[in-house]
Amino acid sequence: LVVSGASVSGLALGPLVPLLLDTYGWRGALLLLAAISFNLVAAGALLRPLPVPNQPLGPPKDGPGLGRLLRHGPFLRYALAFVLVDAGYYVPFVHGE
């Protein structure tokens, strides 16, 4: 379920990219694809740790969130896995035209 979004978007963007290229040219198509991808920022903003019970609300006492996140082992493994997946992932709609 988690990785099905990449497959669904690969199937959906396959016919969409040639249509965008014919309608808007390569610059317009890339701009529209960037706008679609930019919507993922809102989804990424929702990915934050759940509050722990019996912990006071407010900012954490052990430093800023990004610095703490970059020292968090599971997050680093997760980010590294996606870097490796993206480096070797063949995307047909990129290479189709």
**pLDDT band at residue 22 using 50, 70 and 90 as cut-offs:** very high
**pLDDT band at residue 26 using 50, 70 and 90 as cut-offs:** very high
pLDDT digits (tens, 9 = 90+) for 46-87: 777 667 677 666 665 665 667 777 888 888 888 888 888 777
Residues 27 and 31: their CA atoms lie apart, in Å, by: 6
92 touches 14 (CB < 8 A): yes
17 touches 96 (CB < 8 A): yes
Residue identified by tokens 């992932």 is 89
Q: Please tell me the pTM assigned to this model.
A: 0.51
Residue 8 has pLDDT above 80, yes or no: no
Hey, where are the domains in the chain? 8-46, 64-91
